[in-house]
Amino acid sequence: MTSPGSHTLRFELREGDEEAVRAIVESTDFFSPAEINIAVELVQERRAKGDASGYHFVFLDEVHAGRTRTLGYACYGPIDGTLSSYDLYWIAVADSLRGRGLGRVLLQESERRIAAAGGQRIYVDTSSRATYVPTRAFYERSGYLQEALLADFYAPGDGKVIFCKVVGN
């Protein structure tokens, strides 16, 4: 565990993470019930299979008055069939805490861990809907370049935007 300011990063699952992930993702009002369930399923898959799941997590916790609260998290993993490419599956911060740099902490730590594991490229998929303008701007400010736009991928008028960042040699 490391500490950015008054917060602590952790990389192992603990009891209650499924509920914390659900609460964080729900709080954003960005995701459908099916997408929220997928976020929780990745935690469950990691718990059931460990490293073999291919899902890795970075949690950002805060301890206050003896209680630990998860503020945000990221989930990433290697892309099957590639030599050194990774997907960033999820990065989310509780809606009430957005805009405080916590997402950047999670993203930078995920990138550091991916590079340390030999990863060279990180891919991120997001929506083309107007609601996601801040999300796309976040990735662009963080050095990600848009590689593709798949029109109407998720639904009519909701395309898939694919970003990529090179993190290794």
- pLDDT tens for each residue of the chain, 169 residues long: 444 447 899 999 999 999 999 999 999 888 889 999 999 999 999 999 999 999 999 999 998 777 888 999 999 999 999 999 999 999 999 888 887 789 999 999 999 999 999 999 999 999 999 999 999 999 999 999 999 999 999 999 999 999 999 997 6
- Asked if residue 23 is part of any domain, the answer here is yes
- 106: domain CATH number? 3.40.630.30
- Cα 16 from Cα 6, distance rounded (Å): 21
Record the tokens describing residue 56, joined without a space.
């890795």
Count of domains forming the chain: 1
- Asked if residue 13 is part of any domain, the answer here is yes
- Asked if residue 1 is part of any domain, the answer here is no
- Cα 69 from Cα 116, distance rounded (Å): 27
Residue 38 structural domain: 7-166
